[in-house]
Amino acid sequence: MKKVLTVSLALILALTLFVGCSSGKKLADFAKEQNDVYSTMSTDQYSIECTAEGKSLIFTCTYKIDGITEESAKAGLDSIGSTFSTVVQSAKTAGYDCDKVVVEFKDKDGKILASKEFS
């Protein structure tokens, strides 16, 4: 399970670096572009979705399998820490009105196992 969590975190991290490559300046446009990429990466173990709410980007990783604990989800978020602060700055530099990124890990029932804000 830890390997699944690590792979998922790596995917989220890699894909968020595309902020500066997006063409529109509305945060919702960026989120849609990211979802187009994520839809090709969903597996039978997890899905990743990006949404925009106001001036926030929300990255939600939902696990479709058992065995992901709150402890492992929180440890995963702690391990990627400052990377998402960089995403906010990159979005601002690219012309997006983004104040924060929220990363959520949910279990297959939709319960939030871990959530963290980055700005």
- At position 9, the amino acid (one-letter code) is L
Question: Which of 8-12, 29-33, 45-49, 101-105 comes out lowest in average pLDDT?
Answer: 8-12
What span, in angstroms and rounded, lies between the C-alpha atoms of 84 and 7?
17
Specify the number of domains making up the chain: 1
How many helices (H) and strands (E) in the chain?
4, 4
Which one, of 98, 99, 96, lies nearest residue 24 by Cα? 96
Q: Are 107 and 73 in contact (CB under 8 A)?
A: no
Full domain range(s) for residue 109: 2-118
CATH number at residue 17: 3.30.300
In the prediction, which pLDDT does 12 show?
53
Instruction: Beginning with the edge strand found earlier in the chain, give each strand of the sheet holding 112-118 in spatial order.
Output: 46-53, 56-63, 100-106, 112-118
How far apart (Å, rounded) are the C-alpha atoms in residues 82 and 93?
17
Q: Element (H or E) spanning 92, and its range?
A: helix 83-93
pLDDT in tens, 55-99: 999 989 898 988 889 998 898 788 876 677 787 887 888 888 889
